[in-house]
Structure 1
Amino acid sequence: MDKKLTKSPFSVAMGAAFMMAMAAVGPGFLTQTATFTGQLGADFGFAILICILVDIVVQLNIWRIIIVSGKRAQVLANEIVPGLGYLLTVLIVVGGFFFNIGNVGGAGLGLNVLFGISPENGAVIAAVVAIIIFIVKNALTVVDRTVQLLAVVKVAVLIYIIAVTTVPYQSAIVHTFAPSKIDFYSIVTIVGGTVGGYISFSGGHRLLEGGVRGKENIKYVNEGALTGIGVASVIRVMLFLAGLAVVLAGNKLDPSNPAASIFKIAAGQFGYKFFGILLLAAGMTSTIGSSFTSISFLDYSEKAKGDSSIAKWRSIAVVLFIVASTAVFYVVGSPAKVLVVVGAINGLILPIALAILLLASTRSKIMGRGYKHPKWLLVTGWLVVLFMAYAGIRTILLLV
């Protein structure tokens, strides 16, 4: 991978933005959004609104703290409490691995819908393509271009589906701001699937990999984080509106594949093929994002990227990560329910990870002399920690 900053900070920030957004918009994202739209109807709009607000606070905090300190999240955690970084690594990598099983499986299912290939063989093909993307020369540039192209594909597919459905905009708006029911499980799950677990750090770690660090680059942190949140949120809202149109028309979504139901009911077999394209794109982008970010948590070096002791082994580690998750999918099959549950688990990890970085932001020894973390980010950050911890506890009580 690239060993020094060969592109402008803005270009790297946009790469990080799409890395984060497309890591979030995976098969789990599609499954969760469709599942809760089917269960909650227009009230799910409130959960999406809370998710977007939480996303903004989480990403602006985490990206800024990582870039100003110039250190990866696990290194920061170790500086707060020795050994804490290793615990964080375990939580992130294990969560990322389970999500990646669903990611490669989703890409395989996409190929199954499009070409009739078995999901297992489709997953192998998708995994091989992802591996090639990672091992080619200038891999980070190829990764950036790939996720940006696939983002355009996702948005184009959803624009088509919304165009052929009658979207109940008034109901969606009313219930988004005045829900008749608040479901904490849905909030924890979609927040976890958007900025929980490894996804929280995908953008910040991508910026470090691109050589962007230091408080002089805060401008690019803000631009990248807000762009990434915007892209992921637009896709979430579009899928919600398409699903709501189908549900309020009196249709029932297939619980085994609720996202596919939306497209098939809305546009027949043609729509189902479009879903295949969306699922393939979602699986590929999330496989890339999950693998890149999870493996970045194995690097505890505080040196410049080019001198990192793990740099020469990273490509091998990424390949092994993708191969292992593909092998599990091949043996076990599609973990549709696991995608929702892992989203909830990532939502539970979020308050722990965010609290660690907020503590780091107040240490001048870590952040550097002369830096003061914005008070509004600190306050809202701790409010998110408390809210997600509370919502997480409510969710655990419901599940048990």
Structure 2
Amino acid sequence: MSSVTPSVESSAQSVNQSTSWQTKAILSVAFLMATTSVGPGFLTQTAVFTNMYQIDMAFPVFASMFITFGIVMNLWRIVGVSGLRIQDIANRVAPGLGYPIGILLALGAVAFNFGNVSGSALGIQVLTGVDTGWGALFTGIIGSLLFVIHNASKRMDQMARYLGLFMIVLIAYVAMTSLPPLMPTAIAAVAPSDYGNLLLPTLTIVGGAVGGYYTGAQRLVDIGLKGEANVADIKRAAWAGISIAVVIRILLFMAILGVLVTGVTLDAKNPAADAFRHGAGEVGYFIFGLVLFVASITSVVGNSYMAISLVKTLFPAIARNEKAWCVGFILVTSLGTVFMNMPILLLMLAGLVNSLILPIVLATVLVATKRKDIVGDYRHPMWLTLMGSAIVLVMGAASATNISNFIGKFFGA
């Protein structure tokens, strides 16, 4: 009897450790995706567009929930099951395709990092009052230091979990103190005054969030949450990430709209922070600046990791010096942000650029679902394939219109 007991205890301990690892992995990836996708770009884009479209902005927020589900469930399942990064899947689909896909996504990551650095600079301005140019320089230095810290990726995952909870509590507080009229908002979510006029904000806020979807997908491979045996955990991670992101998005929109319906006009230089000042006073304004800064710094580090992970398997020289390339990426985008010094425009532009790249990436992943040399015996649900295909067609067809609408709105053409 005594010889059996230690074996049973050891087996139970092993199962508990495995369960604990899977739970931590799921939460880490979910919160990393959520906080990166609902980062400074999404915060600012939602504030700017809600200021423009008022209650009709409920429709883009509502529609983006379904688009997010279609993207993440397709992307994460195929990346997770295959155990391959996005660019390597593309190379399996068509030899050489991974190079333009990886480079396109890396260029999209450059746009994201301009936005992330800009968001951090705006957060620093709220906290200290210093010019956004100096804030961008400070962001580059801090981001580089964070990246060279030993085990930075593990700490990044931990920070994402705590930051996500902090963001939900703060945004929920402001939303509860300035609730908009609920019934008209719910009606506008499905029946706005002009569907066609809302194409630009819908695609831009989707584009502003996809960096988080890519980062989460690449992270699945790095932490070992991959293979057909882990499909259930990959689905749970995707569901958790989508749920967290959706809760934050809805609360954020409600908080901003609740302020706007009182007749307030938001400060164009930092609309999201101004909404929180009107909704929760100077304390809310300060706390939002802190959240924006920490969220942006986390996104700067996470996005730099993602950008380099997208090309390191394609170029051995980058893989050999991964950390140096990541630091260089942070410094170059920080300096670029200083020279351009247009934080709000850069945050909006990041969403546009990535909404144009997304259909190409998602189409490639959908083709991979039919390739046994990529996914083995795994059978991808047909309804997910159809949903993903619809997103590719709509976003691809809308690209030209989206560009012209963006130029008209933000360049006065």
Please say whether Structure 1 and Structure 2 have the same fold, judged by a TM-score greater than 0.5: yes
1:45·1:176 contact (CA, 8 Å) conserved in 2?
Answer: yes
Q: Which runs of 5+ in 1 are unaligned?
A: 303-307
| Structure 1 residue ranges, 4+ long, deviating more than 4 angstroms after superposition | 308-312
Are 1:379 and 2:379 an aligned pair? Answer: no
Deviation at 1:241, TM superposition (A): 0.6
Deviation at 1:243, TM superposition (A): 1.1
Among 102, 107, 120, the alignment partner of 2:133 is: 120
Counterpart of 2:15? none
Deviations 1:82-114 (A, max 9, x none): 222111112111111122122122212212211
1:385 partner amino acid: V
1:98·1:342 contact (CA, 8 Å) conserved in 2?
Answer: yes
Distance 1:132 1:148 in 2: 21
Deviation at 1:363, TM superposition (A): 0.7
Alignment map for 1:1-400 (pairs within 5 Å) = 8-182=21-195, 183-195=198-210, 198-300=211-313, 311-368=319-376, 370-399=377-406
- 2:209 partner SS: helix
Deviation at 1:73, TM superposition (A): 0.7
2:136·2:335 contact (CA, 8 Å) conserved in 1?
Answer: no
Distance 1:252 1:112 in 2: 20
182-191 or 285-294, larger mean C-alpha shift: 285-294
255-264 or 380-389, larger mean C-alpha shift: 255-264
Distance 1:111 1:393 in 2: 35
Give the TM-score, by structure 1 length.
0.91
2:403 partner amino acid: I
Deviations 1:312-343 (A, max 9, x none): 52221111111111111223223311221220
Give the TM-score, by structure 2 length.
0.88
Deviation at 1:55, TM superposition (A): 0.6
2:223 partner amino acid: G
Q: Which runs of 5+ in 2 are unaligned?
A: 1-17, 408-413
1:52·1:233 contact (CA, 8 Å) conserved in 2?
Answer: yes
Q: Highest CA radius of gyration, 1 or 2?
A: 2
Distance 1:310 1:93 in 2: 13
1:191 partner amino acid: V
2:119·2:343 contact (CA, 8 Å) conserved in 1?
Answer: no
2:177·2:279 contact (CA, 8 Å) conserved in 1?
Answer: yes
Superposed CA RMSD in Å reads: 2.2
2:184 partner amino acid: S
User: Taking every aligned residue pair, what percent have the same amino acid on both sides?
Assistant: 36
44-53 or 267-276, larger mean C-alpha shift: 267-276
1:154·1:281 contact (CA, 8 Å) conserved in 2?
Answer: no
Counterpart of 1:305? none
Aligned residues: 388
- 2:208 partner SS: helix
Distance 2:336 2:58 in 1: 34
Distance 1:310 1:348 in 2: 26
1:131·1:322 contact (CA, 8 Å) conserved in 2?
Answer: yes
